[in-house]
Amino acid sequence: MNKVLLAVLIVFVTTTVWAGSSTNPPTQSRTVRDRVYEVVGTTTPDLKFDLSGEFSAQGYYWDNFALKADDTVTNSYYKGYVSLFPKITVGNTSFIGKINMRDEKWGDYAAYGTDNPDAWPYAYSSQNNDNIAIERAYISHAFATKTILDVGLMSGQWWATKFGDYMQPRYRVKVVQNTALGVVGGLVEKDAELGNAATEDSEKDDYDSYALFAVTKLGTVYVKPLIFYVDRSSTVPTAGKEGIKRLYISLGLDGDLGPIQFESEWTYQDTKYEDLADLAAVNPLYTFAEDSTVYGAYLNLFKTMDFGKPGIVLVYLGYDDEGGPVGSGHGLDSRQDFKANLIIGDEIGFGSVVGQDAEDLLGMNMIKPYIQGMKAMDNLTFDASFAYIMSNQDDYTPVVAGAVGPNPWVDATAWEIDLGANYKITPNLYYLVDAGYANIDFDEGDDPDPVMVLKHEMLFTF
């Protein structure tokens, strides 16, 4: 009897779950829908699932990463990542995601700062941090009017070329309209969600951004204008103050110029820093905060040929010697994604000043001839480049220099040679080797010994 009742119960539950396996949001709570998804999924017709991504395992050897003039240190380490890009499409609507997994920390700091001379600062621990992050999760819908609506967590801080970019997750509502002249669009964006429901206007200006953009084509040249406005009122929580505002205007141009190809980006950045003076109790140097205006330009001229792609890169990053959060100078940064060179730029930010850390090159000029993809055989190519870097920065104000010392980047120069080899094992598996050698010359003070890096990587794409 018990076995019969159990069988009837199983059939009843199974029938009930299957009967409810199609969701109906107007009549079902989120909890009910979650149970349907988890137990049997849905019966949505025409559903397509795509998954792409890549896996990377890297090894590094460094000599003088810390830019020491004496007693240089060598170091080797490993790192890697897995990036997954799922896409689910039903009709004209898609869910687009990105999951990034990085084992960056294989130990902890349990012994750091102790008085025990035998305690290694980075003591091993089994409590590893897997650094799993969802960096993209949004829906995209294409309307019959050729309008595309995107809503959710997207990749922000990038446009046209890699110049001035640092791609980061951003919550957005974005609308793009296809027209006979090209694409036009706009977006609203948040970096954070501050405030609470019990406090009036507490969410106001908690880090909002607004943008207008377009892509069109004139002859053989693509034209990509962008106007981006950032509102950080919450940075200065003082009644009647506007906080930090930034206007960023960019014009990307790329295409063919007869026998050569090119890509370029021209930028203008105006930042309102003066309200930081209200936070002088936090940092007395904020008393001297001044608004900043800087310009930048990037030009890459190249020619794709049978044996490879030779080219030359020219970079200008402006510097306002009276602007910035402490009024001692503020520069334009080519930013993390630009990766000016293997060492100077990619791994070692070059040009950090008081109140502004360099992500890549900051307030510098660079000229860089290169050759990319030089073919040795069908599956083996080589890269080579030489970069010469010159500073645009100026002296700190006497007050700031008295507090932190002189600006070491005034009249500084550097050069770097990078070499790379790329072997395609299969259409999806690559072995990459890179080597860099850099020399830095400060106008005053001791110059660091040369810096060297050797890197190799296994990269699998799918």
Q: 397 is written with which tokens?
A: 């104000």
Using a CB cutoff of 8 Å and minimum separation of 24, what contacts does 143-152 make? 143/92, 145/177, 146/177, 146/178, 146/179, 147/175, 147/176, 147/177, 147/178, 148/175, 148/176, 148/177, 148/178, 149/173, 149/174, 149/175, 150/174, 150/175, 150/176
- What is the CATH classification number for the domain harbouring 209? 2.40.160
| Beta-strand pair 309-317/319-320 | unpaired
Residue 4's contacts (CB-CB under 8 Å, 6 or more residues apart) are: none
Burial of 1 per CB tally in 10 Å (0-12, 13-18, 19+)? exposed
Residue 106 resides in a domain: yes
What are the phi and psi torsion angles at 274 (to 5°)? -60, -30
- What does each C-alpha distance from 90 to 35, 111, 141, 161 come to in angstroms? 21, 53, 10, 31
Residues 35 and 131 in one domain: no
Residues 343 and 385 in one domain: yes
- pLDDT tens digit string along 64-100? 999 999 888 999 988 888 999 999 999 999 999 999 9
CA atoms within 13 Å, Cβ hemisphere of 295: 3
Residues 236 and 342 in one domain: yes
Residues 270 and 316 in one domain: yes
Per-residue burial over 326-361, b = 16 or more CB atoms within 10 Å of its CB, e = otherwise: bbbbbbbbbbbbbebbbbbbbbbbbbbbbbbebbbb
Residue 139 resides in a domain: yes
pLDDT for the residue numbered 26: 66
Residues 395 and 251 in one domain: yes
Residues 9 and 108 in one domain: no
What are the phi and psi torsion angles at 10 (to 5°)? -60, -45
Residues 11 and 148 in one domain: no
Q: 55 is written with which tokens?
A: 């896996």
- How far is it, in rounded angstroms, from Cα 297 to Cα 250? 10
Into how many domains does the chain fold? 2
Residue 250 CB neighbour total at 10 angstroms: 22
Residue 242 resides in a domain: yes
- How far is it, in rounded angstroms, from Cα 450 to Cα 62? 11
Residues 58 and 19 in one domain: no
SS3 sequence, 309-371? EEEEEEEEECEECCCECCCCCEECECCCCCCCCCCECCCECECCECCECCCCEECEEEEEEEE
- How far is it, in rounded angstroms, from Cα 184 to Cα 165? 20
Quote the strand ranges of 130-276, DSSP E. 132-142, 147-156, 168-179, 182-190, 208-218, 221-232, 244-257, 260-272
Residue 49 resides in a domain: no
Helix (H) or strand (E) holding 433: strand 429-441
Residues 8 and 107 in one domain: no
pLDDT for the residue numbered 274: 86
Closest CA to 328 of 354, 350, 361, 349: 354
pTM higher than 0.75? yes
Per-residue burial over 167-186, b = 16 or more CB atoms within 10 Å of its CB, e = otherwise: bebbbbebebeeeeeeebbe
Residue 110 resides in a domain: yes
Helix (H) or strand (E) holding 100: strand 93-101
Segments in the chain below pLDDT 50:
1-20, 109-114, 117, 124, 126, 239-240
- pLDDT tens digit string along 101-146? 876 655 554 444 445 545 555 554 545 555 788 999 999 999 999 9
Closest CA to 313 of 389, 259, 220: 389
Q: Are 75 and 454 in contact (CB under 8 A)?
A: no
Residue 439 CB neighbour total at 10 angstroms: 15
Residues 433 and 339 in one domain: yes
pLDDT for the residue numbered 294: 98
- How far is it, in rounded angstroms, from Cα 224 to Cα 250? 8
pLDDT for the residue numbered 53: 93
Give the residue from 9, 24, 43 where a domain finishes: 43
Residue 179 resides in a domain: yes
Residue 433 resides in a domain: yes
SS3 content of the chain, % helix, strand, coil (to 5): 10, 55, 35
Q: Is the dihedral of CA 8, 10, 11, 16 positive or negative?
A: positive
The one-letter code for the residue type at 343 is I
Name the 3-class secondary structure at 279: helix
Residue 48 resides in a domain: no
As a whole number of Å, the end-to-end CA separation of the chain is 54
What are the phi and psi torsion angles at 15 (to 5°)? -65, -40
Residues 139 and 236 in one domain: yes
Q: Are 429 and 458 in contact (CB under 8 A)?
A: yes
Residues 265 and 378 in one domain: yes
- How far is it, in rounded angstroms, from Cα 306 to Cα 328? 49
Range of 169's domain? Answer: 54-461
Q: Are 175 and 192 in contact (CB under 8 A)?
A: no
